[in-house]
A and B are shown apart, each in its own frame.
Chain A
Amino acid sequence: MSIFKRRIPPLCLAAAFALLAACSGGTNAEQQMSGGAAKVAATRILGSLPGLGAASPTPDARQVLTPALLNGSSTPVLLIVLMQVDTGLTMIPSAANLGAEQWRDRGSGAILRRDGILVGTRGLGHDLLSADVSALARALRNGGGEDVLRINRVLNGENQVVATQYLCRVAATGRETLEFYGVRHATTIYAEECTGDGPAFANRYWVDSSGIVRRSQERISEELGVLDIQLLRP
């Protein structure tokens, strides 16, 4: 039985003495031996520098979406705009466990929503680990509320869960008819103004007559900024 389960890539032999090339193989090529963490670091640093070794960027979702594309979609679609860097992504559902919907994009990012409210992000860097928004959901159903409790949790630089409590004021601030690629929704805009242990912020939710949150602008973290989330389908 051969213990060599992978063929030696021919390119590796040719590039054997290229300074930053390194090859490995074996029964599980996932494992890289620690034969020079420095070279790994150098390779990856170069790869992350702008213009060097980066993959071609994915096009902004807003430039790609059309009404026809949306109509042809068999799943619900969310459009997420990271307002700080003005980038748009689309996400489709991947699971709905016990009321928490997980939506994923084509890359490695995901968000979690409960009752139409964002309760977590993954893979975006400086993520929101979880948010306790049960009181907020109730307030949106009841048309508003005072002293609505919200608890946001993040992982800090030391991988510790840091919980920040906020007391928020939820109130209806107007009405707007949203139009997403040809489909109209009449919505009421609610503002959630939060103050508490952390920096104060304000989120906005566009809720239609059946209680579905069609659009929201929600702050994730200081570094990531605000996400503009639009439910394009259904």
Chain B
Amino acid sequence: MRAPRKFALLGALTLAGGILAVAPAAAQERTRSINSYGVPGLIDMPTAEMQPDGELVTSIYVMSNGIARTQLSFQLTPRIQGLFRYATLPDFQQVGSTFIRTYDRSFDIRFQMFREGRLTPAVTVGLQDFGGTSLYSGEYLVATKSFGDKLTVTGGLGWGRLGTNNSFSNPLGVFSDRFNTRPGFNVNSTGGAFSTGQWFRGDAALFAGAEYRPNDRWTLKAEYSSDAYLREDTRGIFTRKTPLNFGVEYRLNEGTNLGAYVLGGSELGVNLQFGVNPRRPSQGSGKDPAPRPVTLRPSQAEVPEAWTTNWAGNEAVETAVGTTLDTLMSQVGLDLVSYNLNVDRAEVRFRNPIYLSQSQAIGRAARAMTAIVPSSVETFVLISETATSLAGGAVVLRRSDIEALENSPNGAAEILAVAGLVDAATVPDAGRTYVEDAYPRFNWFLGPYFGYSLFDPDAPLRVDIGAEIGAVWEPVRGMVVSGALRQRIVGNRGESARASNSVLPRVRTNTHEYLRTDNPFIPYLTGEYFFRPGKNLYARASAGLLEQEYGGASAELLWKPVGSSLALGLEVNAVRQRAFDGLLGFRDLDAKTAFASAYLDHGNRFFSQLDVGQYLAGDRGATYRLTREFSNGWQVGAWATMTNVSAADFGEGSFDKGLFVSLPVSWLTGRSSREKAGIALQPIQRDGGARLNLRNRLYPQIRDLSDPQLTEEWGRFWR
């Protein structure tokens, strides 16, 4: 039995290791022009170039014969690029005696082994469609050299699909006879497993090309393609007359290119490319209003009565200070929850609904405190809390430092050097006063919702639009009751006719049943309790209709000391599948899941998560998730799950995997906000490796409340 799972896990770990070992690259700021497969390249052929670090490129390619592809690529590190592709070919898949349109999902990965030097070319090795259904699968080794500013020349060797034109026997055959033959392609296979048995095997072929940029806007491309489109030719979709392809591209603006190509002398293609780089926000460091200046205390020598300690214990004074502090903080967008005033120490706890960077919130809160807290108070303790009343780290600052370092040229580093960072659970409770409207809290909202589902072969994109009303009620600190009601107004997600053919318990393949309802439905209705059992510990207990498809009980415990890059968690759930009408009923399917999780902050904005346990269908295994985060809130990542369900039992896709992109609304508008918009690309949703979609898991909530994440963007403290 082949061991695709072992390779996959090994591959994932190697990838993680590769990330950590990557040397910092010189800036390559220009977005490269891509080929029709979404990677930097010519027309069909790739080049050895990489996109700028962190660049996300999405593209759409349409050919005159009805072939179309859309891709999303991400430059994970300066040398590693990953890509997801969704392609469609007409009249390709044989069903009985007819040929129907097929939709194909594939992943690519590329690694730049050598950067371009003065005399040496850049060299990249790439795997195209390395899992999936092998429709596009091919491997290549390519070298690219630029001559001056305008001309770039590429040449390479391709295998698989890229080794079909004028091919010759595999040069790697000298190492082993195995390389001489390539296992066949099965168009009806369910795909999903890494086809390691195919890589670099079979005949190879040469390809070459050149790119000429006469000016900033126009690019001309020509190539000698090694892809003979054999399968398309057999089905009459594409008959090449020549292996030469030509193209021209126009750069509309930074990151956006429009290209037109002539392929094989017989077909036309049009390519539209959008690049965006989370490391280059459009508004720079943002347009947040200037902060209130620090209010300096009067000189103690000149005005000693201002420094009196008589006010301590005087309730009227303390209430007045608290009320003013509440007002000052809400002017900068923070909600004061509680304060604790002593003669020489003041502690505030607040919620930060708008600043993506907690250090900016703490800086604003510190400035607000200097304006009203009596002069005798020298120590400030600032604690940011989540919307669920969980506090993580406490920042302890001396007021004299705040006054002295406000406009110091190196102020951010200097105030960090003198800041104390402790666990908020160790800060004593005695004397804490909650503001009047701290608890109970109630918020409601009413607005539209958008739901989407992707990759159904009958309709690759389905959208629902409707109205949603919801509310959150926090009667006492830490207890959160939340719920929502939705009503679809228009949409086609309910039209999916695919019945599940899963041999596993139908834990996730009944999703389309939930989308059929035309009546109001409840996406979630839960009562949850969040608290800190002690130092370094966070806990959650939830019960109710936890998500669209399941209701029951869930409990989670997280261990994360202040300053630790590693966090460990345990989660246990006992749930029952909900009725398809999305109201209060249940079906007969019970599930118990339990996970032990490890979360690691690698330090260079990469985060790994490993969950080991039992999934909804009763299968057991592990999920690895890698996320790259950008300080301005962008997240791009991927996950893969391996369980003891065999690829055959899993069904199409062989194992659960996906990509996700999340972008903060503030990135578009320049104004601080913690809202995010996200998309998850999950090629197929089957029943293996399925987890609950819980809204309030602990780690994502508390991660930036304490260091290392808290202090990573400390430059924003004085911003």
Contacts and interface: CB of A to CB of B under 8 A. Distances in A.
Given A39-B448, A95-B293, A155-B716, A33 B472 contact: yes
Interface stretch (B5-13, B70-78, B137-145, B437-445): B437-445
Nearest to A96: B293
Contacts of B410: 130, 132, 153, 163
B715 A22 contact: no
Contacts of A102: 290, 293
Interface in B368-408: 387, 403-404, 406-408
A37 B665 contact: yes
A91 B568 CA distance: 51
A159 to B, nearest CB: 4
Contacts of A21: 447
* Size class of the contact patch on chain A: 35 or more
Interface stretch (A103-111, A139-147, A183-191, A199-207): A103-111
A186 B337 CA distance: 56
B527 interface: no
Contacts of B281: 157
A39 B447 contact: yes
Contacts of A233: none
Interface stretch (A12-20, A64-72, A81-89, A171-179): A12-20
Task: Tell me which of A32, A48, A124, A157 has the highest count of chain B C-beta atoms within 10 A of its own C-beta.
Answer: A157
Contacts of A38: 450, 677
Given A22-B447, A112-B407, A124 B287 contact: yes
Contact of A159 (B335, B404, B411, B713): B713
Nearest to A31: B353
A117 to B, nearest CB: 12
Contact of A32 (B445, B668, B669, B715): B445
A195 interface: no
Given A20-B448, A154-B285, A123 B440 contact: no
Interface in A3-33: 3-5, 12, 16-17, 19-33
B306 interface: no
Contacts of B675: 32, 34, 37, 40-41
B280 interface: yes
B506 interface: no
A230 to B, nearest CB: 20
Contacts of B291: 122
A100 interface: yes
Contacts of A112: 407
A114 interface: yes
A73 interface: no
A123 B448 CA distance: 32
A192 interface: no
A130 B448 contact: no
Contacts of A161: 412-413, 715
Contacts of A100: 406-407
B284 interface: yes
B719 A35 contact: no
B241 interface: no
Contact of B284 (A27, A104, A126): A126
A25 B716 contact: no
B19 interface: no
Interface string B422-465: 00000000000000010011111111111000000000000001
Nearest to B467: A17
Contacts of A153: 409-410
Interface string B471-508: 11100000000001000010000000000000000000
A125 B284 contact: yes
Contacts of A48: 668-669
Given A28-B335, A157-B278, A12 B446 contact: yes
Contacts of B449: 35-36, 39
A16 B287 CA distance: 31
Nearest to B277: A157
Contact of B287 (A29, A95, A125): A125
B289 interface: yes
Contacts of B411: 130
B286 A125 contact: yes
A170 interface: no
Contacts of A54: none
A125 B670 contact: yes
B279 A109 contact: no
A97 B446 contact: no
Most buried by B among A33, A114, A122: A33
B444 to A, nearest CB: 6
A120 B403 CA distance: 17
B646 interface: no
Contacts of A94: 293
A119 B407 contact: yes
Contact of A132 (B288, B335, B409, B719): B409
B82 to A, nearest CB: 20
B358 to A, nearest CB: 11
A26 B443 contact: yes
B718 to A, nearest CB: 8
A3 B440 contact: yes
Given A41-B668, A157-B278, A221 B450 contact: no
B470 interface: yes
A98 interface: yes
B422 to A, nearest CB: 24
Nearest to B678: A37
A40 B665 contact: yes
B574 to A, nearest CB: 26
Contacts of B296: 97-98
Nearest to B487: A17
B333 interface: yes
Given A31-B443, A125-B287, A97 B294 contact: yes
B231 to A, nearest CB: 39
B211 interface: no
Contacts of A156: 279, 285
B448 A45 contact: no
A71 B605 CA distance: 54
Nearest to A108: B289
A180 to B, nearest CB: 25
Q: Which of A4, A123, A124, A223 has the most CB of B within 10 A?
A: A123
A232 interface: no
A127 interface: yes
Nearest to B437: A27
B409 A151 contact: yes
A75 to B, nearest CB: 15
A138 interface: no
Contacts of B407: 97-98, 100, 112, 114, 119-120, 130
A16 B446 contact: yes
B409 A24 contact: no
A78 B307 CA distance: 35
Contact of B335 (A30, A32, A158): A30
B439 to A, nearest CB: 9
A199 B157 CA distance: 41
Q: 9 closest pairs, A vs B, by CB?
A: A22-B447, A126-B284, A110-B290, A108-B289, A26-B443, A95-B293, A100-B407, A132-B409, A159-B631
Given A25-B445, A34-B675, A98-B406, 14 more contacts: A19-B465, A22-B446, A25-B443, A27-B437, A27-B443, A30-B353, A39-B449, A40-B673, A40-B675, A120-B407, A125-B287, A151-B409, A156-B285, A157-B630
28 contacts: A17-B467, A27-B442, A33-B444, A35-B445, A36-B447, A37-B677, A38-B450, A39-B448, A39-B450, A40-B677, A41-B665, A41-B675, A94-B293, A97-B294, A98-B296, A98-B403, A98-B404, A98-B406, A102-B290, A108-B290, A109-B290, A110-B290, A119-B407, A123-B290, A155-B716, A156-B285, A157-B630, A161-B412
Interface of B: 277-281, 283-291, 293-294, 296, 330, 333, 335, 351, 353-354, 357, 387, 403-404, 406-413, 437, 440-450, 465, 467-468, 470-473, 484, 489, 605, 630-632, 665, 668-670, 673, 675-678, 712-713, 715-716, 718-719
